[in-house]
Structure 1
Amino acid sequence: MGSWSNGLCGCFNNCSLCLVTYIAPCYTAGKNADATGGSMPMTCLAYLLFAPAGIFLAAKAREKIREQKGIEGGFGSDCLVHLFCPLCALVQDAQEIQPAAQAESMARE
């Protein structure tokens, strides 16, 4: 099984993505959901209006990332990571699905 290319506390590996996520976490959650086949608008709204639904949708995106990359873990741990360390988890997810250059452009959008 594989592992994450960046650690959970490795959010400062891409400072612009980290800054965007800390200012507008719903945007990064939506971009992550969109990249994994989810709905960007629904995830953004859920993250803004009803936190438990946002956490659930972000964890579903994380689950898809893990499955695509062959990373160990389960949906329960994905939910816990997004519950207790949501911003770091969003950045870690974004860094995993996009190469560094694309993550930089995402931060500028």
Structure 2
Amino acid sequence: MGEWKNDLFGCFNDMGLCVITYFAPCLTAGKNAEQVGEDCMLHGFLSALYPIGIFSRANIRGKIRERQGIEGSFGEDCFVHWFCYPCALVQEANELGGKQGMSMVRE
């Protein structure tokens, strides 16, 4: 199994993505979901609902891990999104190609 290419606290490597995620985390969550074949609007909305958002974001993180062959568990994904979800969202976006997933936002 592989590891994350980007550190959890490496969110400042892409300042544009970091700023977008800080002010509109639902946007990054939705775009991450879209990158793994899920509905962008639904997951963006769900991510804003605190207890449901943790579950929703952790579910998408699990799909990203599975797609990229990264070790981990749903419990770890929930923990990361409970305590440091902005950093987790940026890490996931970077893992999925970063700027590609957010191109619509930056136009």
- TM, length-normalised to structure 2: 0.91
| 2:61 alignment partner in structure 1 | 62
| 1:1-109 → structure 2 map (5 Å cutoff) | 1-48=1-48, 50-98=49-97, 100-102=98-100, 105=103, 107-109=105-107
Give the deviation of 1:91 after TM superposition.
Answer: 0.2
CA deviation after TM superposition for structure 1 residue 45, in Å: 1.4
Contact preservation (8 Å) 1:82, 1:89: yes
- CA contact under 8 A between 2:21 and 2:27: conserved in structure 1? yes
Percent identity between matched residues is: 53
CA distance in 1, matches of 2:59, 2:3: 18
- Structure in which a larger fraction of residues adopt helix: 1
In 2, the alpha carbon distance for the partners of 1:103 and 1:45 equals 17
Distance 1:10 1:103, change over 3 A: farther
Structure 1 CA distance, aligned partners of 2:88 and 2:59? 12
RMSD of aligned residue pairs (Cα, Å):
1.5
Equivalent position amino acid for 2:85 in 1 = P
| Residue correspondences, number | 107
Q: CA deviation at 1:44?
A: 1.5
Q: For structure 2, list consecutive stretches of 5 or more residues without a partner in the other structure.
A: none
| 1:38 counterpart SS class | coil
1:105 and 1:29 map into 2 onto residues whose CA distance is 14
